Amino acid sequence: MRQLTCFKSYDIRGKLGEELNEAIAYDIGAAVAQSMSPKSVVLGGDCRETSADLKAAVAQGLLDMGVNVLDIGMCGTEEVYFATDHLNADAGVEVTASHNPIDYNGMKIVGRGSRPLSPEVEMTAIRKSAERADFTFATVKGTLTNANIRADYAAKICSFITPSKLKPLKILVNAGNGTAGPAFDEITKQLAAQGAPLTFVRMDHEPDASFPNGIPNPLLPENQPRTAATVVEHNVDFGVAWDGDFDRCFFFDHTGAFVDGYYIVGLLAQQALNAHKGATIIHDPRMVWNTQEIVADLGGKAVQARTGHAYQKAAMREHGAVYGGEMSAHHYFRDFSYCDSGMIPWLMVAELISTTGTSLADLIASRKAKFPTSGEQNFTIEDPTAALKTVETALASEAQQVEHFDGLSMDFGDWRLNLRMSGTEPLVRLNIETRGDKAAIATHLARVIALLDL
């Protein structure tokens, strides 16, 4: 039996021609039908050159299995999340490679109510079914319907703020020539109709499969200077940039400085707890002290969950959390089917700036000073399991607490590290934070890197 290497921990990503093609996409569509037994599936795709053909292949696999397909066209991943719940479908599939290189594509799959699929059980079942390709086709084929949900989706996004609270703000938005532009335009159209006094500077706004300004991945340092310079050039209040399928958004303050996603989690937790007193907030284990302190100070409950959207969403549902955030710029909302959105966060930040009269830079300055971080450091290591064990053994006698909840977390009182293997890439990721000692970051970082024996 063949092996499909495009299946990762909780989604599908593969190199075109080698790991993913239309035939494999067809089998994945049929496998979704066979393993999940849906009656209807929402289907969308990003603007990549191959997405339309891969989407058509997925649709055909579903149709041949007797499943009705609701095609919402070119869209972002969160529009599929919204539509799956909004249209009462049994599952949703977004064809997207998000921020991966131009010669890649992939898929994100959710169940009824946009519930994430468990990596160990449901995604494994789909993979095995697609690998066997032993399908029982339906005698009556499914139907394909085009559905336009964008206006309803935009209305839902706008409901997360009170437009009358917004002050006149000028915001730079960089869609990266991905799929964010059209959805953003509908959202801002509806905001304007409600009297929101916002103005925008649009950058790389039109979807373009050739990505003339590079793959939309604002997390990469080399992709940040153009956005930063444009923020300064246009004298905006803050800047926002999205990845290719806009389920993540990244912030720049008015000086053009890139804002670490860790501190955005704290700001959004603050906003969520201001609106929902005593609520539960989910966070990932990579860096935790800033989020935990903010949540505790506001009377909320902070709960740690494994890194990755499938785990974060499952924890959100289990604990009834109002908000969940990862430092990688995934932000999850209970009232958005517990799903991540790249559009809700910038609106919440705009509302926070408006109501406090404080710039984004000033909102996070004290938090950065109190809990400085290394930023995520990524390494390719031949034997990551052995590397994590080496670090743990060397530092165990100094640690006040050691966890294996998600990789290796070690708390030394005045500093903390998390070292984990990526769920989607062949990398080991290292994060270090301290209690107010920015100068010590370099020392701790050098010591751990030396132990990794790179």
CA distances from 28 to 58, 67, 82, 130, 369 (A): 7, 13, 22, 5, 48
pLDDT exceeds cutoff 80 at 143: yes
pLDDT band at 425 (very low <50, low <70, confident <90, very high): low
Question: Are the C-beta atoms of residues 154 and 186 closer than 8 Å to each other?
Answer: yes
Selecting among 98, 114, 328, 374, the annotated active-site residue is 98
260-340 is classed in which CATH architecture? 3-Layer(aba) Sandwich (3.40)
**pLDDT for residue 424:** 61
Q: What average pLDDT score do residues 287-309 get?
A: 96
The answer to whether domain 12-148 has CATH 1.10.287.1040 is no
- pLDDT score, position 423: 65
**Domain 150-259, architecture per CATH:** 3-Layer(aba) Sandwich (3.40)
Question: Which tens digits make up the pLDDT trace of 255-280?
Answer: 999 999 999 999 999 999 999 999 99
Q: If we measure between CA atoms, which residue out of 53, 49, 59 comes closest to residue 21? A: 53
What confidence tier does 117 reach under pLDDT thresholds 50, 70, 90?
very high
| pLDDT above 80: residue 51 | yes
Give dist(CA 279, CA 177) in Å, integer: 37
Residue 68 CB-density burial (10 A; 0-12 exposed, 13-18 middle, 19+ buried): middle
Task: Give the confidence band of 453 by pLDDT, cuts at 50, 70, 90.
Answer: confident
pLDDT computed for residue 248 by the predictor: 96
pLDDT tens for each residue of 71-100: 999 999 999 999 999 999 999 999 999 999
Task: Name the average pLDDT for the chain.
Answer: 96
> Could you give the residue range(s) of every CATH 3.40.120.10 domain in the chain?
12-148, 150-259, 260-340
* pLDDT of amino acid 320: 97
What is the rounded average pLDDT of the residues 343-351? 98
Is the pLDDT reported for residue 64 higher than 80? yes
- The secondary structure of the chain, three-state, reads CCCCCCECCCCEEEEECCCECHHHHHHHHHHHHHHHCCCEEEEEECCCCCHHHHHHHHHHHHHHCCCEEEEEEECCHHHHHHHHHHCCCCEEEEECCCCCCCCEEEEEEEEHHHCECCHHHHHHHHHHHHHHCCCCCCCCCCCEEECCCHHHHHHHHHCCCCHHHCCCEEEEEECCCCCHHHHHHHHHHHHHHCCCCEEEEEECCCCCCCCCCCCCCCCCHHHCHHHHHHHHHCCCCEEEEECCCCCCEEEECCCCCEECHHHHHHHHHHHHHHHCCCCEEEECCCCCHHHHHHHHHCCCEEEECCCCHHHHHHHHHHHCCCEEECCCCCEEEHHHCCEECCCHHHHHHHHHHHHHCCCHHHHHHHHHHHCCECCCEEECCCCHHHHHHHHHHHHHHHCCEEECCCCEEEECCCEEEEEEECCCCCCEEEEEEECCCHHHHHHHHHHHHHHHCC
**What is the CATH superfamily name and number for domain 377-452?**
Alpha-D-phosphohexomutase, C-terminal domain (3.30.310.50)
Reported as a single tens digit per residue, the pLDDT across 221-230 is: 999 999 999 9
Per-residue pLDDT, 330: 96
pLDDT tens for each residue of 192-240: 999 999 999 999 999 999 999 999 999 999 999 999 999 999 999 999 9
Ranges of CATH 3.30.310.50 domains, the chain: 377-452
- From residue 94, alpha-carbon distances to 87, 167, 249, 314, 427 in Å are 15, 35, 18, 19, 25
Q: What average pLDDT does range 311-339 have in this prediction? A: 96
Annotated active-site residue 337? The verdict is: no
For the stretch 364-400, pLDDT in tens is 999 999 999 999 999 998 888 899 999 999 999 999 9
The pLDDT confidence band at residue 310, using thresholds 50, 70 and 90, is: confident
